Amino acid sequence: MNTTMIKKILNLFLKSNCPLCENPSDEYICSSCQRKLEDYRFNNCFRFWQGDLPVFIWGSYDGFLKLALARMKYDNYPQIGEEMGYFLAQSWLAQSFTSKIKNLVVVPIPLHPKKLQSRGFNQAEIIARGFCQLTGYSLELKGLLRVRETSPMFGLSREERSQNVLEAFTIGKSFLKRRPRDPILLIDDIYTTGTTVKEAAKILRFEGIEVLGVGAMATSKK
Ligand SMILES: [Zn+2]
């Protein structure tokens, strides 16, 4: 075997495999899968940035993006979430009015401790981490606390959804000690009807904390 061949083989081992297609890749998510994800990105991630609780959403909860989110959550690939946080941050920074916002406190929607234990990680927290790494905003993991276990939202009517998250959150330890001086950006992985984030924002605002809006990776909203 010549050295070029040895190098080639070594390189194959040194490269990690893309978690989405399992091909060897230099980047965590390979460039071909990144392009496939891009197909689901909204042309305007700020299309829902309006009203009482503006929402910034990266893409459509469909196809390859839906698959990637499921792979992260159910096949235990938390690092996919970090990459998604970078995507979210890139779109945030690409918009002139949001790129000018210098100070924000990013708060991921918490999981109930029981669910956190069974999954091992909170996907919203990992997305928020990636988002903050690129934007430089401060990350506050203990801004909110999930106090009540809720049933999965799928298949529930709008009214049942509201009942389901009613008093699901309370203000977390960090904010109890010291109210944040900067406005909050809530982060979640999937935005469905917004019932969960609205409830979270309500609790924070009730405590006199300013909430700017919500950032999410995907929505089925058209
Ligand atoms: Zn790939």
pLDDT in tens, 117-149: 998 999 999 999 999 999 999 999 999 999 877
Residue 123 CA to ligand 1 center (angstroms) comes to 20
Report the pLDDT value the prediction gives residue 12, as an integer from 0 to 100. 61
In 3D space, the residue among 43, 28, 138 whose CA is nearest the CA of residue 84 turns out to be: 28
CB 113 within 8 A of CB 149: no
In 3D space, the residue among 129, 126, 136, 81 whose CA is nearest the CA of residue 104 turns out to be: 136
Report the pLDDT value the prediction gives residue 14, as an integer from 0 to 100. 66
Which pair of structure tokens corresponds to residue 106?
A: 């990013």
121 and 152 in a single domain? The answer is yes
Report the pLDDT value the prediction gives residue 7, as an integer from 0 to 100. 63
How many domains does the chain fold into?
2
Q: Which of the pair, 97 or 37, is modelled with greater confidence? A: 37
Find the CATH number of the domain harbouring 47: 3.40.50
Report the pLDDT value the prediction gives residue 148, as an integer from 0 to 100. 77
Residue 76 CA to ligand 1 center (angstroms) comes to 16
Report the pLDDT value the prediction gives residue 138, as an integer from 0 to 100. 97
Report the pLDDT value the prediction gives residue 101, as an integer from 0 to 100. 93
Neighbours of ion ligand 1 (CB under 5 A): 18, 20-21, 30, 33
Tens of pLDDT, residue by residue over 178-221, are 999 999 999 999 999 899 999 999 999 999 999 999 999 999 98
This prediction has a pTM of 0.88
Q: What range does the domain containing 6 cover?
A: 1-38
118 and 197 in a single domain? The answer is yes
- Sign of torsion over alpha carbons 135, 138, 142, 144: negative
Residue 12 CA to ligand 1 center (angstroms) comes to 15
On the question of pLDDT at 28 being above 90, the answer is yes
90 and 140 in a single domain? The answer is yes
Tens of pLDDT, residue by residue over 59-86, are 999 999 999 999 999 999 999 999 999 9
State the DSSP string of 94-130. Answer: HSHHHHT----EEEEPPPPHHHHHHHSS-HHHHHHHH
27 and 104 in a single domain? The answer is no
204 and 157 in a single domain? The answer is yes
